[in-house]
Structure 1
Amino acid sequence: MIRLEYFTPADFQQLIGWIQDPELLQSWSGALFSFPLTEDKLAWYLEGTNNPPESDALVYKAVESKSGETVGHISLGGISHKNNSARISRVLVGNTTARGRGVCQGMIKGVLKIGFEDLGLHRIDLGVYDFNTAAIACYEKCGMKKDGTMRDVLKHGDNYWSLIEMSMLEHEWRELHGKKQGHFIL
């Protein structure tokens, strides 16, 4: 099982250690950061986050419940109370030994639960580069639906990366989890 805890400055070095090359950094963060990732850049990234009533972003580390080991990172940003929407971003199963063990699904389901149940959102979306087939499969297993592809949105070296947009709506979340209007179906 995976639990999500707020990402703090105490977690900076572990995340920096996971992201050791420019391609992984760009795949994880798009154009948000430049290589190398530093504590100063991560301090800026955390400014104004992790205060649900006021922040437009919640940033988490993923912790394996049994071992207490931090195995990943995820954020729920672009939180719009006006539109009841948010965007999942910066998803990383950083501990390579944890890959293929359901960590990504645990992180996605955890952040969807926070968004739909705790924040009362209507829509949660994300973007994933089209070559990241493992992530796409994970998101689909969690119930995310493909909305379309934005072609050649990011330049990496001499190549362009295309982005698949995916989303889930609150009624889809309720249907997947046996809930109706905030209550369990009996």
Structure 2
Amino acid sequence: MFADKPTLSGERVTLVPVGPEHVEGLVELISDPEVRRLTGSHAGVDAGLARHWYATRAGHADRLDLAITAGGAYVGEIVLNEVDTANLSCNMRIALIGPRVFGKGYGSEAIELVLSHAFRTTPLHRIRLGVYAFNDRARHVYEKAGFVAEGVERDALLWDGAWHDCVLMAVLRPEWQARSGRLA
């Protein structure tokens, strides 16, 4: 479904297929304490493993891994993965490099570009994600993009001795079409 690895351009960001040239940005992203909390990532990342990971993404037709760049600099990644071809659905995840790029609209634009690409070029009907209940900023961005809360995974994350829920959200092709005014 994602054999084609496009470059998607917006006003603020350009999404490019991830590659080894983005590893330093990925290591910075995963090393940021706030990003780790917001994504629930307990483990750090080894640069060698990250280099191998990013170098091999182009060969996976079942996922789309894109680096989010602004002014040519890596500012995060957005991924469509966990494809369920029988039910025409997949998962989306996004992470920005940290507080220095938060609030600039990069995530919102990256999500819009990926949804547009997915619903225009694939038969996908549903794109889902999970967001921790304490991440109000991300939840607001997802709602702005058309994602609807569908349920809650209770006590899904144990962080610093406290349990946190994960809100499950999704956007459906007809909702995206109605919102965007586009035919997929």
With the length of structure 1 as denominator, give the TM-score of the two structures.
0.82
SS where residue 91 of structure 2 aligns?
strand
Partner of 1:146: 149
Number of matched residues? 173
Aligned residues of 1:84 and 1:122 also touching (Cα < 8 A): yes
Partner of 1:39: 47
**122-131 vs 67-76, greater mean Cα deviation:** 67-76
Partner of 2:125: 122
**Correspondence for 1:85 among 72, 85, 89:** 89
**1:121 aligned partner, one-letter code:** L
Aligned residues of 1:49 and 1:56 also touching (Cα < 8 A): no
SS where residue 86 of structure 2 aligns?
coil
How much does 1:171 deviate?
A: 0.5
Aligned residues of 1:3 and 1:110 also touching (Cα < 8 A): no
State how 1:162-177 maps to structure 2 within 5 Å.
162-177=165-180
**Correspondence for 1:99 among 99, 102, 110:** 102
User: How far apart, in 1, do the equivalents of 2:116 and 2:22 lie?
Assistant: 23
Higher helix share: 2
Pair 1:106–1:87, CA change in 2 (3 A): same
With the length of structure 2 as denominator, give the TM-score of the two structures.
0.83
**2:46 aligned partner, one-letter code:** T
User: How far apart, in 2, do the equivalents of 1:81 and 1:137 lie?
Assistant: 29
How much does 1:176 deviate?
A: 1.3
1:49 lines up with 2:54 in the alignment = no
Aligned residues of 1:56 and 1:80 also touching (Cα < 8 A): no
Per-residue deviation, residues 101-149 of structure 1 (Å, max 9, x unmatched): 2111011111212221122210000000010000000111111111111
User: How far apart, in 1, do the equivalents of 2:25 and 2:55 lie?
Assistant: 19
**Correspondence for 1:10 among 21, 27, 31:** 21
State how 1:54-65 maps to structure 2 within 5 Å.
55-64=61-70
User: How far apart, in 2, do the equivalents of 1:45 and 1:161 lie?
Assistant: 29
1:75 lines up with 2:79 in the alignment = yes
Identity of aligned residues (%): 27
Unaligned runs of 5+ in 1: none
How much does 1:27 deviate?
A: 3.4
Unaligned runs of 5+ in 2: 1-10
1:179 lines up with 2:177 in the alignment = no
Per-residue deviation, residues 1-47 of structure 1 (Å, max 9, x unmatched): 2221111111111121233255633533x46x722x11233246447
Pair 1:46–1:69, CA change in 2 (3 A): closer
